[in-house]
């Protein structure tokens, strides 16, 4: 049995419990994951022979089996549903395709003079977090303003402890110089408190207080202090003018607007915090073969906030399915009440209208770019004799300096352009590779990449398998890659080496394939420009990864490698001796003078440096 008859047969064994159901096709592939307050009532809808949209009718016809899992509550069912959708990526579900983490501003509080910095990821550090911001540039812009106004330090603790004179930040009036005693701990704490108040939306209060302080300083003829306060007020005014949208009646909200057209959709999210706009970001969810706006928006919101704290208010462009359930789910995530609204008038409606306009324009640009990208991929298929335009192209490159800090980089491109969430970096680990051996490095990278693919998806059911590999290099690189791919039994993926050609000049690239003579593309070919963009992006990614690795090695503090030395002991050692080099020269008896360093720990530190020496 399949379709309606199969579903009707399952109904006989279902009860009214809440839970999650899965619909599978004859190959065992999951077509759809859904949740239900009452499984029997929900699944009975699919047993009806008519009254379905074309999308649902097609899904029912393909259904060959179903799976069920009961939960205690409908909210649990919603969470499980979203986790399964992200894991299984069923064809008929709406998929947010969102793995982006948003940055925050952190005022760390684990030091007498707190630092202010950009933070991304889990909130493990002790301090006050403000965000999310839509992009790193939005955070950097805000941090730049905050440094001008509140003069908070942005240097690391180790740099702070090692300073003997003010740095450039102090000279250009972006830091109050706490590292060398230019400001007292109490006065610095006042600056921190003002920065927190500003990020909480109380900037006008701060401005009034600064103006009063400037007037007092002027009356007392402390003209230098009055001038400094004047500069801070001017910087604060510039911040307020550059914020853009500053809603008066909306202190905290995410404004979420959807525009769908031609089977594609764009969701625009604006972050409003402390009555300020902290930027916006666009997303392009997969529409599940033609879902309607309420389902798309409901699925996007549920998936978007599965691992993010939601704000107190969501302002939406469309009503969503199961609005009460969604609000309950978000309230549990936030551990406070979350309200969902579709405003019709006033400032909130204007915010939603602005977001909807951005969504419409973004989707238009995206569709135009997709059409151009489809032509390029068709050209790639023709140039390299592929059976069809590739849905996934992987490009590989290595970067090192005479073999040191060697890394491999992989970028991914497809019908929607560069897929940056799929980029990967590989630290070259092979001990048998001769420093500078590009062939050996490339072989290690490809072996690690495809060994993992074969382990995780041997039947190639996911979209993680490429149709084309582009290797930065000539015949030697392609031969090395071919050798390792044959060894792993992966022989059906097209491989092309991209060599610079004569004079290593752009436009004279030569393409190498196993068993074929090198060939070139016409100098004005759009496909050639596209391949150059892919190669250059892979080079940029590999170079950036290599520089980051080299910088980390250069800036690494040897104290970090000593077992038992954490942040507190490291700070105490640097405060006492001034530098890691001075610690390395200290005798055990001198090390024991530092707070927190026992006799055993002193021996450990001394032995570490003696053995390394």
* pLDDT tens string 397-406: 988 766 567 8
Q: Which of 235, 262, 279, 460 is nearest to 370 (CA)?
A: 262
Is pLDDT at 392 greater than 50 in this prediction? Answer: yes
Apex CA 512: angle with CA 509 and CA 515, to 5°?
Answer: 155
CA distance 63 to 135: 42
The per-residue pLDDT for range 91-133, each reduced to its tens digit, is 999 998 766 788 999 999 889 999 999 998 888 889 999 888 8
Q: Which of 349, 283, 274 is nearest to 317 (CA)?
A: 349
Q: With b meaning 16 or more CB within 10 Å and e meaning fewer, what string describes 153-163?
A: bebebbebbbe
Bridge-based pairing of strands 30-36 and 19-24 is: antiparallel
Quick one: pLDDT band at residue 219, thresholds 50, 70, 90? Answer: confident
The mean pLDDT value for 409-414 works out to 93
The mean pLDDT value for 292-317 works out to 92
Q: Which of 22, 48, 21, 51 is nearest to 36 (CA)?
A: 21
Per mean pLDDT, which range of 358-362, 416-420, 468-472 is the poorest? 416-420
Which tokens sit at 450?
């495809």
Is pLDDT at 70 greater than 90 in this prediction? Answer: yes
**Burial group, residue 417, by CB count within 10 angstroms (0-12, 13-18, 19+):** middle
The per-residue pLDDT for range 24-64, each reduced to its tens digit, is 999 999 999 999 999 999 999 999 888 888 899 999 999 99
The per-residue pLDDT for range 566-588, each reduced to its tens digit, is 878 888 888 888 778 888 888 88
Is pLDDT at 613 greater than 50 in this prediction? Answer: no
pLDDT averaged over every residue in the chain: 87
Task: Identify the pLDDT of residue 33.
Answer: 96
Residue 435 phi, psi (nearest 5) = -50, 130
Quick one: pLDDT band at residue 376, thresholds 50, 70, 90? Answer: very high
The mean pLDDT value for 436-441 works out to 79
Residue found by looking up tokens 């939603």 in the block: 352
Is pLDDT at 505 greater than 60 in this prediction? Answer: no
Residue found by looking up tokens 């942040």 in the block: 567
Task: Identify the pLDDT of residue 439.
Answer: 84
Per mean pLDDT, which range of 131-140, 202-211, 573-582 is the poorest? 202-211
The answer to whether 143 touches 118, Cβ cutoff 8 Å, is yes
568 or 430, greater pLDDT: 568
Say how many CA atoms lie within 13 Å of 269 toward its Cβ.
26
Which tokens sit at 606?
């001394």
Quick one: pLDDT band at residue 2, thresholds 50, 70, 90? Answer: confident
Q: Residues with Cβ < 8 Å from 607, sequence gap 6 or more?
A: none
Task: Identify the pLDDT of residue 346.
Answer: 92
Highest mean pLDDT pick, 92-106, 148-162, 305-319, 503-517: 305-319
CA distance 455 to 508: 39
The per-residue pLDDT for range 253-300, each reduced to its tens digit, is 999 999 998 888 999 999 998 888 888 899 999 898 888 999 999 999
The answer to whether 175 touches 144, Cβ cutoff 8 Å, is no
């Amino acid at each position: 049995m399949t379709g309606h008859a199969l579903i009707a047969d399952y109904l006989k064994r279902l009860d009214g419990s809440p839970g999650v159901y899965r619909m599978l096709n004859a190959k065992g592939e999951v077509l759809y994951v859904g949740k239900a307050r009452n499984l029997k009532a929900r699944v009975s809808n699919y047993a009806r022979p008519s009254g379905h949209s074309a999308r649902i009718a097609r899904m029912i016809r393909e259904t060959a089996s179903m799976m069920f899992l009961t939960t205690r509550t409908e909210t649990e069912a919603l969470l499980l549903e979203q986790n399964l959708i992200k894991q299984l990526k069923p064809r008929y579900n709406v998929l947010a395709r969102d793995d982006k983490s948003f940055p925050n501003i952190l005022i760390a509080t684990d030091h007498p003079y707190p630092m202010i910095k950009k933070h991304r990821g889990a909130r493990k550090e002790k301090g006050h977090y403000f965000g999310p911001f839509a992009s790193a540039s939005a955070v950097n812009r805000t941090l730049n303003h905050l440094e001008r106004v509140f003069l908070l330090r942005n240097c690391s603790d180790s740099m702070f402890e090692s300073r003997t004179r003010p740095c450039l930040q102090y000279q250009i009036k972006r830091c109050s110089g706490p590292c060398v005693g230019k400001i007292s701990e109490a006065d610095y704490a006042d600056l921190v408190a003002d920065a927190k108040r500003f990020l909480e939306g109380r900037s006008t209060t701060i401005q009034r207080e600064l103006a009063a302080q400037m007037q007092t300083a002027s009356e007392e003829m402390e003209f230098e202090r009055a001038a400094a306060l004047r500069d801070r007020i001017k910087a604060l005014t510039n911040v307020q003018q550059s914020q853009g949208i500053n809603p008066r009646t909306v202190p905290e909200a995410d404004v979420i607007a959807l525009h769908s057209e031609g089977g594609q959709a764009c969701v625009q999210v604006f972050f409003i915090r402390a009555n300020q706009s902290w930027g916006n970001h666009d997303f392009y969810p997969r529409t599940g073969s033609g879902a309607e706006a309420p389902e798309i928006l409901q699925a996007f919101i549920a998936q978007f906030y599965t691992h993010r704290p939601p704000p107190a208010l969501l302002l939406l462009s469309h009503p969503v399915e199961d609005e009460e359930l969604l609000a309950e789910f978000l309230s549990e995530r936030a551990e406070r009440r979350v309200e969902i609204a579709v405003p019709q008038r006033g400032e909130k409606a204007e915010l939603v209208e602005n977001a909807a306009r951005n969504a419409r324009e973004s989707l238009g640009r995206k569709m135009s770019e997709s059409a151009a990208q489809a032509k390029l991929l068709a050209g790639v298929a023709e140039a390299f004799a592929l059976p069809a335009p590739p849905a996934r192209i992987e490009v590989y490159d290595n970067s090192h300096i005479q073999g040191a800090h060697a890394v491999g980089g992989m970028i991914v491109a497809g019908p929607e352009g560069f897929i940056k969430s799929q980029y990967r970096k590989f630290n070259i680990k092979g001990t048998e590779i001769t420093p500078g051996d590009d062939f050996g490095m490339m072989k290690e990278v490809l072996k690690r990449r495809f060994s993992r693919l074969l382990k995780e998806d041997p039947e190639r059911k996911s979209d993680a398998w490429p149709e084309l590999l582009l290797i930065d290099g000539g015949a030697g690189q392609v031969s090395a890659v071919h050798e390792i791919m044959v060894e792993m039994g992966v022989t059906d993926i097209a491989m092309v080496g991209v060599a610079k050609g004569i004079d290593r000049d752009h436009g004279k690239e030569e393409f190498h394939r196993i068993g074929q003579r090198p060939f070139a593309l016409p100098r004005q070919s759009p496909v050639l420009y596209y391949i150059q963009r892919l190669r250059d992006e892979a080079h940029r990614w590999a170079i950036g990864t290599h520089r980051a690795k080299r910088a980390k090695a250069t800036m690494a503090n040897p104290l970090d490698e000593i077992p038992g030395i954490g942040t507190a002991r490291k700070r105490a050692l640097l405060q006492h001796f001034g530098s890691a080099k001075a610690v390395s020269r200290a005798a055990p008896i001198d090390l024991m003078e530092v707070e927190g360093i026992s006799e055993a720990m002193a021996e450990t530190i001394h032995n570490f440096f003696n053995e390394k020496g």
